[in-house]
Each structure stands twice: as C-alpha cells, then as structure tokens.
Amino acid sequence: MSGAATVSSSEAHKLVWEGSVPLLIHLHDSEVTTLPPPPPALVLAPRLGYLPLLISQLKPYFSTTLPPGVDTLWFEYRGLPLKWYIPTGVLFDLLCVEPERPWNLTVHFRGYPSNLLLPCEGEDSVKWSFINSLKEAAYVTKGNCKNVMNMSQSDQVELWRSVLNGNLESYQRVSSKLKLGTFEDEYTENISAVSTASQQNSGEADAAAQVKSGEQKLYVNNRIPVRLYVWTVTEDFDDLESAPQIDNWDKISYINRPVEIQKEDGKYFSLNDAIKSLLPEYFPGSSFDNLGDASTKQSVGDEGENTCDPDSSSLPLENAEIKLVRIQGIEPCLEIPFSWVVNNLMNPEYFLHICVCLKVSEANALQ
C-alpha cells in the first residue's frame, strides 16, 4: 500500500469484516492412512473468525484418509499448537511476522494436546468463549454485563450467526442494542488512518496535524477492553524475514488489561500512549500510568515477611523501543488517536487485539 489513505469509519469496518487470511492446511502425517496422501486444503479464513469453525470446510477434504476415532480438531504452526480462542487474524499477525500467503498450517483430527490447549468441542465452545469475552468487554466498559445477559434469545442467535457468516450489517443491527460503543469523534471522517511502516514519518506528521484541529469526546467511560500480545527481541531486525520465530507461547506476554484513557491538557491520547500505558515496566517515563494507585507505599511489602517480599531494587530501566505494532493486519501510525483505532479496528466481541514487538536489552527479554 503506498501512501496514506483516508478511510471513513464505515469503510474501515467493512474492510475489517472482509479481512481474511488465505490458509493452506496440511493434514498431519500421522493421520494420513491412504496413499497418495490428500493434498492440502486451501481455505480463506475470516480474520475475525476462529480456526475450529473451519471444520465444516476441512472435514470433506480429509475424512476418507483419517484413522478411526473421534474427531478432536486442533491446528499447529511449525510445531506450535494454536490457541483456538484467539481470532484467526490475530494468530496470523502474531505468529507470522513476515506474512506468509497462503499461511501454511497443519491440522490434526486426533491426539488433542489437552495438557496445553483448552478443550474445544466445536462451535459451541467457540461461541461460549466469544460470548464470555463479550461479557468481559461489557463489564470493562460499563461495570456490569447486564446488557449482554439480557439479550433476547433471537438477538443472541443473530449476533453469533453474523460473526459466523461475516455479516456486518446483521452484526451492527444487533450489537448497536448493546450500546458498547465507547467513542464519538468529530474528526473520524477526516483523519489519515492507514499508512505503511515505511511511510511512518510522513504519516505521523499528517495525523498529528489533522488531529490537533479536532476534538475528542469520550462517550461512556474511560476503560477500553484491550488484549495485548507482546514479544521481545534484543536486536534490531532489518526485515521481517530475519525476525525471530515464536516457537513457544511462553515467549509471548499476554496482557488482558483495559486501557484507561487519561487526558492531558492540549494532548490527545494516541495509540502509542495506549500501548505504553499497558507496559509501564518497559516505559517508566510514560506520562500515562495504568496500573492503579501511584501512591501505594513500598512499606506494605514489609508486613508480609518473605511471603510478600517485593524486589525492592529499583534499577533504572532503559526504555524499550516499539518495533512493530499490528492490528487487523495493518501497522498503524503510532501517533493515530487511540479513539480512531478503538472505533474502527475492534473485533466483534468488543476487544481490541494488538500485537506488539518490543526491542529490549538482554536482561529484560522474555525468555
């Protein structure tokens, strides 16, 4: 994509809902009982969807070759079992640093790794997980989940169906009743929103200039449901191909914490601010601090003897550096107002999923 594009809110929603990841799905060798082995299945998976929902497309491809037994579907990428409750687009943005198109995945119908992955019993499990996240988002935004719990049966069905089928109109019709929207922007229509990483500098200037002329209104409350997936590198990488492979979920720090919007006079709250507010240990100098009372006294720890012994050596930390941010497959300019990102790039369960790569010193790296 060359140059910054002006994208309206409705266009952005449409692009997000139409977003998909081409997958080339190979059946694991151990489950191939026929010769020749079946060819891999080429499937276009919606970004906003979930891998287990692809079973109806995949089963016909592989059913004749599977060994006897009950199907327990799971996926892996280069040996890493994939967490099925993470939306497909997020998995792709996170694990495929240099985007592979199509994305080569391995599918299993047997031997579910239940010590590693939550059990998944098909569509019902995915739906439950989705609704649960929706309730959590409602709680974050409104302080209770009543609006979700009180949805009529038919609305619930339509909401889930609209996610299953990628039907934005139907989704908006039902979800608007939940009143979980958080922002109203006066300048949404005018802002430069999408830019490539290489164009970041000019994009930053554009966005910053346009935003200063706008006004930011906060709609309901200041807490935004966010799920941050952070991985660290200790060296710069020139191109994405040389970025280290994530081969273990322990290398990803999963932060499920709401962003609290804090405003400073004369400044709008940017995406950069939002991300840094969730990572105070890496960005101690950040003016927006998200982890509660700054007034907590250190002495509290003394009461607990060795059961609550805080590491009291406050080492001065070098600031980490944000190397990469991906949301819905795009790398937004970090100076974009966070409200725009929230309004346009959220998933249907009202969570904003952000993949972040940080460059840190060796001592601070996630092992």
Partner 1 sequence: MDQKESVRDITPWDGTLSSSDFFSAACAFSEKWKRFNASVPPWLWVPSRKHHLLSSHKEEGYLSLEGMCLIKSSEEQESCRSQTWKEESSISQEEEAVENATLVQSSCDEVNHYDFHIVYSPSYRVPVLYFRSYHSDGQPLPFGEIEKDLPDHSAKIRSESKWTFITQEEHPYLNRPWYKLHPCGTSEWMKLLFLGDTALNKNGFVIEHYLVSWFSVIGQVVGLKIPLGMLETVSC
Residue 231 CB, shortest distance to partner 1, in Å, is: 11
Given the rule CB under 8 A, which of 6-14, 93-101, 128-136, 160-168 is the region that contacts partner 1? 128-136
Q: Which is nearer to partner 1, 2 or 313 (CB)?
A: 313
Q: First vs last Cα of the chain: how many Å apart? A: 35
For residues 223-262, which are near partner 1 according to CB under 8 A? Answer: 225, 249-250, 253-254, 256-258
Residue 51 engages partner 1 in binding (rule: CB under 8 A): no
Residue 157 engages partner 1 in binding (rule: CB under 8 A): no
Residue 330 CB, shortest distance to partner 1, in Å, is: 26
β-pairing, 80-81 vs 74-77, is: antiparallel
Residue 366 CB, shortest distance to partner 1, in Å, is: 6
Q: Where are the beta strands (DSSP E) in the chain?
A: 5-6, 20-27, 41-46, 74-77, 80-81, 103-108, 183-185, 192-194, 216-218, 223-224, 226-233, 253-256, 259-260, 321-326, 352-359
Residue 122 engages partner 1 in binding (rule: CB under 8 A): no
Q: Which is nearer to partner 1, 135 or 353 (CB)?
A: 135
DSSP H helices in 53-199 = 55-62, 88-95, 123-142, 146-149, 153-165, 168-175
Question: Is it true that the peptide bond before 102 is cis, omega within 30 degrees of 0?
Answer: yes
Given the rule CB under 8 A, which of 16-24, 93-101, 116-124, 321-329 is the region that contacts partner 1? 116-124
For residues 133-152, which are near partner 1 according to CB under 8 A? Answer: 135-136, 139-140, 143, 145
Q: Which is nearer to partner 1, 157 or 291 (CB)?
A: 291
Q: Which is nearer to partner 1, 202 or 364 (CB)?
A: 364
Per DSSP, 249 falls in state G
Residue 79 engages partner 1 in binding (rule: CB under 8 A): no
Q: What angle do CA 254, 257, 258 make, to 5 degrees?
A: 145
Residue 60 engages partner 1 in binding (rule: CB under 8 A): no
59 Cα distance to chain centroid: 28
Contact (Cβ atoms closer than 8 angstroms) between residue 339 and residue 269: yes
In terms of Cβ atoms closer than 10 Å to its own Cβ (0-12, 13-18, 19+), residue 54 is buried
DSSP H helices in 143-284 = 146-149, 153-165, 168-175, 200-212, 271-277
Residue 135 CB, shortest distance to partner 1, in Å, is: 7
Q: Which is nearer to partner 1, 61 or 139 (CB)?
A: 139
Residue 214 engages partner 1 in binding (rule: CB under 8 A): no
Residue 32 CB, shortest distance to partner 1, in Å, is: 28
Residue 229 CB, shortest distance to partner 1, in Å, is: 12
Q: Which of 116, 157, 205, 209 binds partner 1 (CB under 8 A)?
A: 116
Cα 184 from Cα 9, distance rounded (Å) = 11
Query: Angle of helix 168-175 relative to helix 9-18, nearest 10 degrees?
Result: 120
Q: Which is nearer to partner 1, 205 or 300 (CB)?
A: 300
Q: Which of 156, 190, 196, 364 binds partner 1 (CB under 8 A)?
A: 364
Number of residues located near partner 1, criterion CB under 8 A: 51
Cα 321 from Cα 363, distance rounded (Å) = 15
Q: Which is nearer to partner 1, 30 or 114 (CB)?
A: 114
* Contact string (CB under 8 A) for partner 1, positions 278-317, x = contact: --xxx-x------xxxxxx-x-xx-xxx-xxxxxxxxx-x
Residue 292 CB, shortest distance to partner 1, in Å, is: 3
Beta-bridge partners for 226: 352
Cα 286 from Cα 333, distance rounded (Å) = 18
Contact (Cβ atoms closer than 8 angstroms) between residue 123 and residue 77: no
C-alpha distances in Å from residue 109, one per residue of 1, 78, 105, 249 = 38, 17, 13, 22
DSSP H helices in 63-122 = 88-95
* Binding residues vs partner 1 (CB under 8 A): 83, 114-119, 132, 135-136, 139-140, 143, 145, 225, 249-250, 253-254, 256-258, 280-282, 284, 291-296, 298, 300-301, 303-305, 307-315, 317, 363-364, 366
